Amino acid sequence: MKTYPANYPIVQVRGLKKLFPVGGGRKLHAIDGVDFDLQPGRTLALVGESGSGKSTVARCIVRLLEPTDGDVVVHGNSVRPLNPVRMATMYRTLQMVFQDPNASLNPRMTVRKVLEEPLKLHLSMTQDERNARLSELVTLVGLGEEHLARYPHELSGGQRQRIGIARAISINPEVVLLDEPTASLDVSVRGQILDLLKRIQRELNLAYLFISHDLQVVRHVADEVAVMYLGQIVERGPTAEIFDNPRHPYTRALMSAAPVARYGVKRERLRLAGEISTPVDPPPACRLSGRCPIEQPVCSQQRMPLEPINETHSVACPFSDRVAEAVAPPVPAAKAG
């Protein structure tokens, strides 16, 4: 377990942008200026619906995608000028767990080969040391040595994701990006994987970026939550505050739509008008304008930056005081988009 100074950010993401050309000179703004830090032992959850750009953020950090602008700084050094070979060394620090454990494991490699590969590429170990490390790893993720000889298709979904996690932590990284790690798992397995991730984080003092659309899960694992909408972070703060007192209209709409498996819980939904607008060449306006129940004229005239409302909580909405009013009488269903 590595130790760090207090509040030390291992990864700093600054002004990250990713634009995809969509033809005709137009650009799809997948990520449009995103900033955050990742600290050891802490989990930042990136929450959003499809099209919010949350997975693109992770891919830009590890440079599976090249960011258009902005910077990713790891231990004070920018990763952007690194060539592929130097970037490969950066993956000793920066690792990722993918959403679909079926697709992220090479179907032709046994578990042993999957886990051996990073060890061989990054560490000079003897075969005995590697074997010892392999059995340590499978034990750490709750599997046995008998699983080493298996192929991915011989494992259950949960077991595959455990291997995905073991691969990510095999070379002792400091930061792990988790891209929807439980989205393709059954609920009963979901809890076990979350449990495992938390335990590993404690034992190895890892920094997590947890990308998810599952609010239940986020509430369970995150220390801090950043809510993304159309490529921007619209609200960020401690988990409890985001869930109990969401201040951005979008956050509130999202929270109020999440189903709860309890009998007799009636949601008071905040509804947004229409459908998500296009991320292609968005106008310089609040991204929610046109859908927002508390919209003001100024909202469609300028971008709304993320402003702190207290020490830890920031919102990209100057009218966040009024958001509670918007919920009160539910809008008639006929108007729901």
- Binders of other proteins among 217-246, rule CB under 8 A? 217, 220
Minimum gap (Å) between residue 109 Cβ and other proteins: 8
Minimum distance between the CB of residue 126 and other proteins, rounded to whole angstroms? 19
**185-210: b (≥16 Cβ within 10 Å) or e:** beeebbeebbebbeebbeebbbbbbb
Pick the closer one to other proteins by CB: 105 or 226. 105
Options 1, 2, 15, 88; binder of other proteins; rule CB under 8 A = 88
Instruction: Looking at residues 25 to 54 of the shown chain, list those that interact with other proteins (rule: CB under 8 A).
Output: 49-50
Is residue 66 a contact point for other proteins (CB under 8 A)?
no
144 binds other proteins per the rule CB under 8 A: no
CA–CA dist 310, 132 (Å, integer): 49
- A 10 A CB-CB count for 308 gives 11
Segment interacting with other proteins (CB under 8 A) among 15-23, 127-135, 258-266, 292-300: 258-266
| Minimum distance from residue 324 beta carbon to other proteins (Å) | 19
Q: Tell me how far the alpha carbon of residue 140 is from its chain's centroid.
A: 23
Minimal distance, residue 145 CB to other proteins, in Å: 18
Per-residue contact track with other proteins, 93 to 132, x per CB under 8 A?
Answer: --xx-xxx--xxxxxx--------xx--xx----------
User: 298 with 288: CB under 8 angstroms?
Assistant: no
- CA dihedral of 211, 103, 27, 317, whole degrees rounded to 10: -10
Stretch that binds other proteins, among 29-37, 240-248, 260-268, 314-322 (CB under 8 A): 260-268
d(CA 119, CA 185): 27
Minimum CB separation of residue 87 from other proteins in Å reads 9
3-state secondary structure of 47: strand
**How do beta strands 307-308 and 207-212 pair?**
unpaired
- In the sheet with 27-38, reading across from the earlier edge strand, the strands are 27-38, 11-21, 69-74, 77-78
For position 288 contacting other proteins by CB under 8 A, the verdict is: no
Smallest distance from the beta carbon of 114 to other proteins, in angstroms? 9
The CA-atom distances, in angstroms, between 85 and each of 88, 114, 173, 316 are 5, 20, 17, 39
Residue 164 as a binder of other proteins (CB under 8 A): the answer is yes
Q: Is 266 in the site for other proteins (CB under 8 A)?
A: yes
329 touching other proteins, by CB under 8 A: no
> From the list 138, 148, 155, 304, which residue makes contact with other proteins (rule: CB under 8 A)?
155
Residue 161 and residue 200 in contact, taking contact as beta carbons nearer than 8 Å: no
DSSP secondary-structure letter at 332?
P
Q: What pairing do the DSSP bridges indicate for beta strands 175-179 and 94-97?
A: parallel
Among 199, 281, 308, 312, binds other proteins (CB under 8 A): 199
User: Is residue 172 at the binding interface for other proteins, with CB under 8 A as the rule?
Assistant: no
Judged by beta carbon, residue 260 or residue 298, the one nearer other proteins is: 260
